[in-house]
Amino acid sequence: MSARYGMIFDVDGLIADTEPLNAEVTIRVLADMFGLRGVTPEDFTAGFGRGAEAYVKAGARVHGLELTDEQAHAGAELREQYLVETVRKEGLPAFPGVLKLIRDALKRDGFRLAIATSATLELSEAILTAVKVPYRKMVYVSGSDVTKKKPDPQIFLIAIQRLGIEAARCVVFEDAPSGVQAAKSADAKCIAVTNTVPAEELSGADLICDSLEKVNLKMIRKLVDY
């Protein structure tokens, strides 16, 4: 049976509970590289889902420091080094329900799955390995494959093309407003989870839930076939 449904998963904040660690290491980067003190996890909100450099810039901007693109790039590289080291050493938790949903879909005819993450190949592989996602059975698009960050739809357009399923029959799972915007710009359906931001910030999604424990394959079929 040829696949009739595509499921595309973001990673940070959707599969893996990475946000506390993202904030922790970026606070460390801003202190080590730029001497910024008093940075808090809430300072990175404007950078959610927009890639590492935007995330670093967001935290610095709250404290009155406008980083150049070169500074942000250097900060993002150091941040990735810290992240990879920590994930490999300490591991990461997966959000409830996501691994079951992925494994259920992989067992069923008619479904094809993809990973689509803004993180680089090295970092995303470290995260997916830590949370035990069977990503080798899935289409895999990382930030190393794209030139444009969300909310541009490029990453989802590539995933849709590699899945070989029309966009309208693909469901993107996201946790950030920029990801929701990118999914809808790619003409895909979108299920948003309130892991990172409140529901009102995800209002562009087709379905919003507080946990993927509440999502099953029947709901995916209904969303696509409606």
Last residue of a domain, one of 40, 68, 90: 90
Distance separating alpha carbons of residues 110 and 122, to the nearest angstrom: 30
pLDDT above 70 covers a percentage of the chain that reads 99
* Range(s) of the domain holding residue 180: 5-17+93-225
What CATH number is given to the structural domain containing 177? 3.40.50.1000
Q: Express each pLDDT in 111-130 by its tens digit.
A: 999 999 999 999 999 999 99
Last residue of a domain, one of 90, 109, 130: 90
Q: Taking a C-beta distance cutoff of 8 angstroms, is the pair 56, 76 a contact? A: yes
Distance separating alpha carbons of residues 221 and 133, to the nearest angstrom: 22
| Pair (101, 117) in one structural domain | yes
- Residue 82, token pair as written in the block: 């810290």
| Pair (117, 205) in one structural domain | yes
Distance separating alpha carbons of residues 114 and 139, to the nearest angstrom: 4
| Pair (112, 213) in one structural domain | yes
Reported pTM? 0.90
| Pair (36, 112) in one structural domain | no
What CATH number is given to the structural domain containing 30? 1.10.150
Q: Express each pLDDT in 39-88 by its tens digit.
A: 999 999 998 888 899 999 999 999 999 999 999 999 999 999 999 999 99
Q: How confident is the model at residue 226 (pLDDT cuts 50, 70, 90)?
A: confident
What is the count of structural domains for the chain? Answer: 2
| Pair (103, 211) in one structural domain | yes
| Pair (114, 201) in one structural domain | yes
| Pair (184, 103) in one structural domain | yes
pLDDT at 2 over 80: no
- Partnered with residue 192 across adjacent β-strands are 174, 208
Last residue of a domain, one of 58, 90, 122: 90
| Pair (69, 99) in one structural domain | no
| Pair (211, 168) in one structural domain | yes
Q: Taking a C-beta distance cutoff of 8 angstroms, is the pair 216, 186 a contact? A: no
| Pair (85, 147) in one structural domain | no
| Pair (84, 109) in one structural domain | no
Distance separating alpha carbons of residues 121 and 91, to the nearest angstrom: 17
Q: Express each pLDDT in 187-202 by its tens digit.
A: 999 999 999 999 999 9
| Pair (129, 73) in one structural domain | no
Q: How confident is the model at residue 1 (pLDDT cuts 50, 70, 90)?
A: low
Distance separating alpha carbons of residues 53 and 8, to the nearest angstrom: 23
